[in-house]
Structure 1
Amino acid sequence: MTDHAFKVEDPYLWPFWEAASERRLTVQHCRACGAHQFYPRPFCLSCEGRDLDWVDVAGTGEVYSVTTVRIPVSDLLPPPYQVALVTLDAGPRLLAGIDGPPCRIGDRVRLVWREREDAPPFPAFERVTP
């Protein structure tokens, strides 16, 4: 992994953050049944198979759920800001921040990368305007 102060404790997430350091969004893929999943696990949620790899995905999807945070949680991100559960076109859902104008459930979104000096780029999403 790229040399950052950012430390990933969960070894199942290492491939995700390694790809993120190259600005690639990846999810786990089951070679047995073809399902995609995120959060990574040692087995497939669809068939319980253990032959998993990582694949790049497009980074487009639809807002499944969204909330606006209005109470400060960290000095790094002053409120208000939005956090959404995005259903990726590849299938799995990813929790991430929303950049730009506020989103609503059902909005189409696309991947953007938030840059940080002390960590790899973080995936976030922005609304796609029709």
Structure 2
Amino acid sequence: MLTPVIDEDGAPFWEYAARGELRIQACAAEGCGELRFPPRPCCPHCQSFDSEWRLMSGRGRIWSFVLPHPPLLPDYADQAPYNAVLVELAEAPRIRLAGNVVSAPDAPLNSVDPTRLRIGAAVKAVFTEIDGVTVPRWILERG
């Protein structure tokens, strides 16, 4: 797996993920409150350097997805066919997170039949530790 590069601005995201929480950085300036991802030091809306991390429900919808085709990165080739998705968060439709839809937190990347994926399908965040980093993944919600 490609492990994330954890920088100073994004470190809290990964610390919260290790606790099983999906949190998104928000501007803490009075009157702004805009959510932003990826994390950065300055609000692109009001230029404030004040920020906080807001807890999200972990629910969202598949905004886009792809099924990679060969040639694949060697670490992923044995898991094909797998998916890569962009998930639009329910509370923050302008925030989209990349990841994979799996059948369970620790399931392999190819654990969901690709024919089950649809734009707009409801998903929920789950977390698993890979190579010492806890990463969010997504499971399809029923109903």
TM-score range, shorter chain: 0.7 to 0.9
Residues 84-124 of structure 1: CA deviation (Å, up to 9, x unaligned): 111112211111111133421111110111332x2222101
Distance 2:84 2:49 in 1: 31
Q: CA RMSD in A?
A: 1.9
Q: CA 1:47–1:20 in 2, change beyond 3 Å: closer, same or farther?
A: same
Aligned: 1:15 with 2:16? no
2:26 maps to amino acid: H
Deviates more, 1:74-83 or 1:107-116: 74-83
**Corresponding residue number in structure 1 for 2:137:** 124
Contact 2:63/2:119 (<8 A) preserved: yes
**Corresponding residue number in structure 1 for 2:51:** 52
Partner of 1:11: helix, strand, or coil? coil
Q: CA deviation at 1:9?
A: 4.4
Structure 2 unmatched ranges of 5 or more: 104-111
**Corresponding residue number in structure 1 for 2:60:** 61
TM-score by length of structure 1 reads 0.83
Equivalent pairs counted in the alignment come to 124
Q: CA deviation at 1:14?
A: 0.8
**Corresponding residue number in structure 2 for 1:3:** none
Structure 1 unmatched ranges of 5 or more: 1-5
How many percent of aligned residue pairs carry the same amino acid? 32
Correspondence for 1:110 among 83, 99, 124 = 124
Residues 23-57 of structure 1: CA deviation (Å, up to 9, x unaligned): 11111011121211110011123333221111221
